């Protein structure tokens, strides 16, 4: 197993470029925007999924597992990264995918298979029970023993990797920023990031899901697991994370409304930074909208985490 130590990962995370970008909507509001390019952390295991898999792979290895199983949809950044990690670090991987196998699978799943991931398509009803022991037992009976990573890498080990990203950011900028922003699906990344940065600065999560669901609660639980030593951090109130829910633009993976396509095109034209259609584009829309609404004081220095996911552009009509 060639996977790095946590120190090596931190070292690598400290060398991720943090780029200053100029957008008229932000400069007009007196806001400086820095983009941390975690989409560049690895050519195959992109963005936050790299960090979220890191301790999961280490834990699996320490417990003697050679086979990993996880879940995702046809364009899942998580399954894509897991397949790449399996190939790189010598694990067999099994990807459980929602729905029937179509005649032609997505480019995401094609890559995953090419990297050696075995795909198992299960019905939508079964998929809903993916975290229940009965379904896991049924999969185990069929495919043998394996280490289970929840969909999206959404567990404490996943958050620990993102905590390390937060620590790297803190070291790089020496605390000289106002807030850090990230796109949220499960909220694991937000929880880890918030737990990694200084408790006096907020981590702001932009949810790409329609409806809050259990997102805030999930973030709170994971965050507390990582910030246990900080006695003053209590449920919600004193925690340094916030959730913004108004920029899902129709919901997870939905066709983009016209205003989002236009924003995306404008952003990439102005910055030359490619975005993914499901997550980062909505976070940047949220950041610029909040700035225009006067959410941050003039002179604020906002950091946005580019959490990767660019492989997902292949399922979408993109601006460039």
In the complex, the smallest distance separating the C-beta of residue 209 from ligand PLP, rounded to whole angstroms, is 9
**Binding window for ligand PLP (CB under 6 A); candidates: 13-21, 29-37, 251-259, 307-315:** 307-315
Closest CB to ligand PLP among 66 and 224?
Answer: 224
- Out of 84, 183, 203, 204, the only residue in the binding site for ligand PLP (CB under 6 A) is 183
- With a CB cutoff of 8 Å and minimum separation 6, the contacts of 179 are 201, 202, 203, 204, 296, 300, 302, 303
| Residue placing its CB nearer to ligand PLP in the complex, 29 or 196 | 196
C-beta closer to ligand PLP: residue 29 or 313: 313
DSSP letter string over 250-284? TSTTPPPPHHHHHHHHHHHHHH-----TTTHHHHH
Token output for 245: 């829910």
Q: Which is nearer to ligand PLP, 59 or 66 (CB)?
A: 59
Q: Within 39-58, which residues bind ligand PLP (CB under 6 A)?
A: 47-49
| Closer of 34 and 281 to ligand PLP (Cβ) | 281
- Integer Cα distance of 117 and 114 in angstroms: 7
Q: Which two tokens stand for residue 39?
A: 């989409």
Residue 220 sits in the site that holds ligand PLP (CB under 6 A): no
Binder of ligand PLP out of 108, 240, 307, 311 (CB under 6 A):
307
Among 155, 188, 245, 311, binds ligand PLP (CB under 6 A): 188
Closest CB to ligand PLP among residues 70, 188? 188
Contact 80, 113 (CB under 8 A): no
Q: Which of 70, 108, 155, 186 contacts ligand PLP by CB under 6 A? A: 186
Closest CA to 26 of 279, 247, 287, 307: 287
b/e 175-200 (16+ beta carbons within 10 angstroms → b): eebebbbbbbbbbbbbbbbbbbbeee
Instruction: Please report whether residue 106 would count as binding ligand PLP according to CB under 6 A.
Output: no
Size of the site for ligand PLP (CB under 6 A): 20
Consecutive H or E run containing 165:
helix 156-173
163 is a site residue for ligand PLP (CB under 6 A)? no
Closest by alpha carbon to 80, among 120, 40, 49? Answer: 49
Between 138 and 218, whose beta carbon lies closer to ligand PLP? 218
| Site stretch for ligand PLP (CB under 6 A), options 14-22, 62-70, 223-231, 272-280 | 272-280
Query: Which pair of tokens denotes residue 191?
Result: 């929880």
Residues in the site for ligand PLP, rule: CB under 6 A? 47-49, 77, 152, 154, 183-190, 276, 279-280, 307-309
């Amino acid at each position: 197993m060639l996977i790095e130590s946590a120190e090596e990962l931190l070292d690598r995370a400290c060398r991720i470029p943090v780029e200053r970008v100029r957008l008229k909507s932000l400069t007009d509001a007196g806001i400086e925007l820095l983009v941390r390019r975690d989409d560049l952390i690895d050519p195959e295991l992109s963005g936050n999924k790299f960090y979220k898999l890191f301790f999961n792979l280490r834990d699996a290895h320490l417990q003697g597992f050679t086979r990993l199983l996880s879940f995702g949809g046809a364009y899942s950044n998580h399954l894509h990264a897991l397949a790449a990690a399996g190939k790189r670090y010598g694990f067999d991987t099994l990807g459980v995918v929602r729905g029937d196998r179509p005649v032609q699978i997505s480019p995401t799943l094609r890559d995953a298979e090419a990297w050696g991931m075995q795909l198992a398509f299960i019905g939508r009803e079964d998929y809903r029970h993916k975290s229940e022991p009965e379904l896991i037992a049924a999969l185990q009976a069929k495919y043998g023993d394996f280490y289970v990573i929840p969909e999206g890498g959404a567990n404490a080990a996943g958050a620990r990797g993102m905590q390390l990203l937060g620590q790297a950011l803190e070291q790089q900028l020496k605390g000289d920023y106002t807030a850090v922003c990230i796109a949220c699906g499960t909220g694991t990344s937000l929880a880890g990031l918030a737990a990694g940065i200084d408790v006096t600065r907020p981590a702001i999560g932009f949810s790409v899901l329609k409806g809050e669901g259990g997102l805030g609660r999930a973030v709170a639980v994971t965050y507390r697991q990582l910030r246990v030593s900080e006695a003053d951090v209590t449920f919600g109130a004193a925690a340094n994370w916030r959730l913004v829910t108004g920029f899902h633009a129709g919901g997870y993976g939905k066709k983009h409304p016209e205003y989002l396509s236009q924003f995306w095109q404008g952003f990439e034209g102005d910055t030359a930074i490619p975005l993914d259609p499901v997550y980062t584009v909505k976070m940047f829309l949220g950041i610029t909208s909040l700035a225009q609404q006067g959410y941050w004081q003039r002179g604020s220095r906002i950091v946005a985490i580019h959490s990767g996911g660019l492989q997902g552009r292949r399922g979408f009509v993109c601006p460039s």
